Structure 1
Amino acid sequence: MTSLFDAVSVGSLRLPNRIVMAPLTRNRAPNAVPTPLMAEYYAQRASAGLLITEATAISAQGQGYADVPGLYGTDQLDGWKRVTDAVHERKGRIVVQLWHVGRVSHTALQPDGQKPVAPSAITARTKTYLIQDGVGSFAPTSEPRALDASELPGIVHDFRHAARHAVTTAGFDGVEIHGANGYLLDQFMKTGSNHRRDDYGGSIENRARLMLEVVRAVAGEVGGGRTGLRLSPVTPANDVNDADPQPLFEYLMRELAPLHLAYIHIIEGATGGPRVIEERPFDYAKLRETYRTAGGKGAWMVNNGYDKALAEASLAKGADLVAFGRPYIANPDLVERLRRNAPLNEPDKATFYGGGAHGYTDYPALA
């Protein structure tokens, strides 16, 4: 029976175990530049089979929260290189999550105070994180403007460009495209946020078009074996919803299968919430079957509310990797704690977003 502690090949990577650190936004990158403290944070967690970084903006336009990192400037790439070097010194493996937030932003975070961009000019009923006069707080997102179709090739280029420099300049082992949680690519996919009437709206094929253009471009740039994709079919995060997600995501799986991606990363249920949403039923087993039947060879990564018992049950049912999010905040040695069935440290919620070492790099490891 497959164990969490068994090695596995994932695209171009050989992982020593099947435990993945999920992306966790921590807002500790002033001016979007990764810091030495971030290098320490990720290095502490290098025993994970794979580390996925916090979401990282591919462009200034893609920025949606204060003090989150970017991948579009020299200082940012240099900062990330310090992170990857620290992780590799601990024999870890790390990929960066490529992010464009779309409408989940604020004019205060956008170049020249411009409106955020979106598939359609529909404001997201959610909040973003701002720092004003040195104080962090959550604020409603700003009204977005609809992207013109002529702008979309530039966004695809930004994803491709960020992926190339992530691997060749910053030293990442690969990239994960953020196609989940109500951010730009997910906004285009779903009917609640996409009311377009051009080639990027309406039909399933049209709504999935930008997602597929981005994934194909990134895989073409760094190789499918170094490319992962994160999806959340039914999460209500950031005010996103779709009228009929099952056929939408099954279509996506059939189109993704020939790209030989390293992995598909699926958030089951509501991000950070219930794994089953009664009013939003979804068949995840059928989704994986669709991908496999279409020839998809990438590892299948599951996420949301997993503990050790549930993780190993999921591996027994066909998953290849299990991503743990919140447990990794307070347990840098999560792999060893799970191996020993040791108790977990409880995280300090007051330190989740912003701050310094406290609640970030000062959690104790097992003796």
Structure 2
Amino acid sequence: MALREFNPRLRRCRLLFLYAAGNLLILTAICSPNEIVPVADPRNSLSAASSRSLFGVRGGAFFGFGRSSKSRGDGDGGGGDGDGTPKRFPALSQDEIEEKLNIPVFGLTDAQGNGVILSDSDKNNVFHFFFSRHMADAALRSVCDANRGAPPLKVSAFHLGKCWFRLINNTGSPEYKLRKYGGGDDVSNSGDEVTRAVTFRLVPNAKDLMGARILTGLKPGDVEQLRDAVEEPNPPKALSIIQCAANNGSASFSSPFDQIPVFTIAQMRVRKKDDQGNSVGDNMMPFHFSTKTMSDTWNEFVHQSPQFQDAEATLQLIELHTMIEMMQSESDFDFRNVVFIYPQYDNDVQNNDKDDDDDDESDDGGGGGDNGMND
């Protein structure tokens, strides 16, 4: 199964403009809970690791994903072995996938670390994992405003990988003991305690969700017209193309939750840096949850390698659930050579000093908290 590819010759200016388009057509996440109840089992909160420069970047041909059997392997983890037989790589184990997903996501908890469950319009019990700390903070303010006088809440970081199989993508239907928010900390008092199923939802950054929707809504020829409108410049024409793409009924990423866009530039590779700033280890293909992080990484690469100033970037997009399904199957691409890059958002930077220290670090440079929830 191949990643969805958009116009094999997306120039850098187009890539950056598509990121800007997400800023123009930002979606607004509204949190209006009817009632709030926490998961009964408290956990200590661990925050995301502080941002740090871990990777060097380089260019390179795209590897794997549907490469023909005549292709030779290039050491990056995909393609044939030179004898006409496509090389196959085993599926990743659950532990390997969890480690790859060492990315922090943010949820609302009480002071003891109990997860805060919100009731949606259909009276379903829902816990939200936000990719953006800023969006989680906005949800926190909304919840607190709707429940003045209730005990204080906070935003806590969770390890996406550890939550994925146990909570987010759990094939079973586990139920959890819930207590009414503000009902007290005495677990022996079961008067307000109920057992209910809980849905765990992933909430992408609104700008990135809109950017993915625009990409999937672009029609043949739209990218060229959009490029021309940017270069003229002709903002009204560009905005019209973007709006039409966003409103295209055939576009994907139409849900505000559980459709997580993951972006990559096919030509880019990264290598981990040691303490002296030297590149070490194998070449890895970076996958980004944030278009901003992706464009910043690409700009860094172009800055370090001016000869690639006019390089053409092949932007590719895939939904996270689909990608993880691919990682769990045998493939002609070695997903062990993939690294998920911690998303950085402008509005999240101001929150870095609120985070506690995190002792859980990954070789992939993630930084998810160690939080989880038990049934």
TM-score, structure 2 as length reference: 0.23
Structure 1 or 2: more helix by fraction: 1
Q: Whose radius of gyration is greater, 1 or 2?
A: 2
- Higher relative contact order at CA 8 Å, sep ≥6: structure 1 or structure 2? 2
